[in-house]
Structure 1
Amino acid sequence: MVSGPPPTVRAEGRNMKRCFRERFRGKKILVTGHTGFKGSWLSIWLTELGAEVIGYSLEPPTNPSNFDLCHLQNRMTHIVGDVCDQQKLDAVFAQYKPEIVFHLAAQPIVLASYQDPHETFRTNVMGTACVLDAIRKAGGVNAFVGVTSDKVYKDQGWYWGYRESDTLGGYDPYSASKAAAETVIASYRQSWNQQWQEDQAVKRFSVAPTAIASVRAGNVIGGGDFADFRILPDFMRACMAGEPMQLRNPNSIRPWQHALEPISGYLWLAVHMHDHPEQYNDAWNFGPAEREPVVCEALVKLAAELWGEGCRGYTKQPVKVAAHETKILRVNWDQAAYRLNWMPAYSWQEAVEETVLWWQAYHAQLQSGQVPDMYGVCVDHIQVFVDKARDKDISWAS
Structure 2
Amino acid sequence: MKILITGGAGFIGSAVVRYIIDKTKDEVINVDKLTYAGNLESLASVESNNRYFFEKVDICDSDQLALVFSRYKPDLVMHLAAESHVDRSIDSSSEFIKTNVVGTFTLLEVVRKYWNALPDEKSKVFRFHHISTDEVFGDLSDSGGLFTETTPYSPSSPYSASKASSDHLVRAWLRTYGVPTIVTNCSNNYGPYHFPEKLIPLTILNALEGKALPIYGNGLQIRDWLYVEDHARALYQVLTKGKVGETYNIGGHNEKTNIEVVKTICSILDELAPNKFTTLVKYDELICYVPDRPGHDVRYAIDATKIEKELGWKPEETFESGIRKTVLWFIKNKSWCKRVLEGTYSRERLGAQLK
Q: TM-score range by the shorter chain?
A: 0.7 to 0.9
2:112 paired residue number: 136
1:168 aligned partner: 153
Matches of 2:336 and 2:319 in 1, distance apart?
27
Which residue of the other structure, out of 189, 208, 211, is the alignment partner of 1:243?
211
The partner residue of 1:353 within 315, 324, 332 is 324
Distance 1:98 1:150, change over 3 A: same
Please give the secondary structure, in 1, of the residue aligned with 2:222: coil
1:53 aligned partner: 28
Q: Note the C-alpha offset of 1:347.
A: 1.0
Task: Tell me which residue corresponds to 1:260.
Answer: 229
Equivalent residues in 2 for 1:362-373 (5 A)? 362-363=333-334
- Cα deviation code 1:297-342 (max 9, x no counterpart): 2222222222233345244432236322111111111111221122
1:288 is matched with 252
Matches of 1:58 and 1:257, distance apart in 2 = 26
User: Does the 8 Å contact 1:60/1:67 carry over to 2?
Assistant: no
Which whole-Å deviations, capped at 9, do the CAs of 1:17-36 have from their partners, x for residues lacking one?
Answer: xxxxxxxxxx2111100111
**Secondary structure of 1:148's aligned partner:** strand
How far does the alpha carbon of each residue in 1:28-80 deviate from its partner, in whole angstroms, 9 at most, with x for none? 11110011111111111111123221111111524xx6532542554431111
* Correspondences of 1:291-330 after superposition (within 5 Å): 293-307=255-269, 308=271, 309-311=273-275, 313-314=283-284, 315-320=286-291, 322-330=293-301
| Cα shift at 1:350 | 1.2
Structure 1 residues 327 and 317, CA gap change in structure 2 (3 angstroms): same
Show the counterpart of 1:38.
12
How many angstroms apart in 2 are the aligned matches of 1:310 and 1:246? 20
With over 3 angstroms needed to count, the CA separation of the structure-2 counterparts of 1:73 and 1:301, relative to structure 1, is same
Per-residue deviation, residues 106-149 of structure 1 (Å, max 9, x unmatched): 00011111122122112111211222211111124611110111
In the alignment, is the contact (CA less than 8 A) between 1:289 and 1:346 conserved in 2?
A: no
Q: 1:127 aligns with which of 91, 103, 122?
A: 103
Contact map agreement 1:28 1:51 (CA 8 A) in 2: yes
Asked if 2 retains the 8 angstrom alpha-carbon contact of 1:149 and 1:215, the reply is yes
Which residue identity lines up with residue 129 of structure 1 in the other structure? F
Moved more, 237-246 or 250-259: 237-246
User: 5+ unaligned residues in a row in structure 2: which ranges?
Assistant: 276-281, 341-355
Count, aligned residues:
317
Q: Which residue of 2 aligns with 1:231?
A: 199
Question: Do the aligned residues in 2 keep the contact of 1:272 with 1:280 (CA within 8 Å)?
Answer: no
2:169 corresponds to 1:184: yes
What are the Cα deviations for residues 196-216 of structure 1, in whole angstroms up to 9, with x where unaligned?
A: xxxxxxxxxxxxxx5311111
| Offset at residue 286 of structure 1 (A) | 0.3
Asked whether the equivalents of residues 32 and 57 of structure 2 are also in contact (C-alpha less than 8 Å), the reply is yes
Matched to 1:106, the amino acid is: A
Q: Is the 8 Å Cα contact of residues 140 and 298 (structure 2) preserved in structure 1?
A: no
Do the aligned residues in 1 keep the contact of 2:127 with 2:244 (CA within 8 Å)? no
Whole-angstrom CA distance in 1 between matches of 2:138 and 2:267: 36
> Aligned AA for 1:268?
Q
Structure 1 residue 159 displacement after superposition: 3.1
TM-score normalised according to structure 2 size: 0.83
Q: Which amino acid is the alignment partner of residue 78 of structure 1? A: F
Structure 2 residue matching 1:256: 3-state secondary structure: strand
For residue 290 of structure 2, give the secondary structure of its aligned residue in structure 1.
Answer: coil
Provide the C-alpha distance between the structure 1 equivalents of 2:307 and 2:329, rounded to a whole number of angstroms: 28
- Structure 1 distance, partners of 2:97, 2:212, is 35
* 1:388 matched residue in structure 2: none
AA matched with 2:130: G
The equivalent of 2:241 in structure 1 is: 272
Asked if structure 2 preserves the Cα contact closer than 8 Å seen for 1:154 and 1:168, the reply is yes
Specify the alignment match of 1:9 in structure 2. Answer: none
1:261 is aligned with what amino acid? D
Q: CA RMSD in A?
A: 2.3
Deviations 1:128-186 (A, max 9, x none): 12222111111246111101110011334233211111111212110111111111011
**Which shows bigger deviation, 93-102 or 353-362?**
353-362
**Is the 8 Å Cα contact of residues 261 and 345 (structure 1) preserved in structure 2?**
yes
Once residues 215 and 90 of structure 2 are traced to their aligned partners in structure 1, the CA distance between those partners, rounded to angstroms, is 20
Q: Secondary structure at the match of 1:317?
A: strand
RCO (CA 8 Å, sep 6+): is it higher in 1 or 2?
1
Question: Take 1:153 and 1:132, find their aligned partners in 2: how far apart are those partners?
Answer: 23
Does the 8 A contact of 1:28 with 1:54 survive in 2? Answer: yes
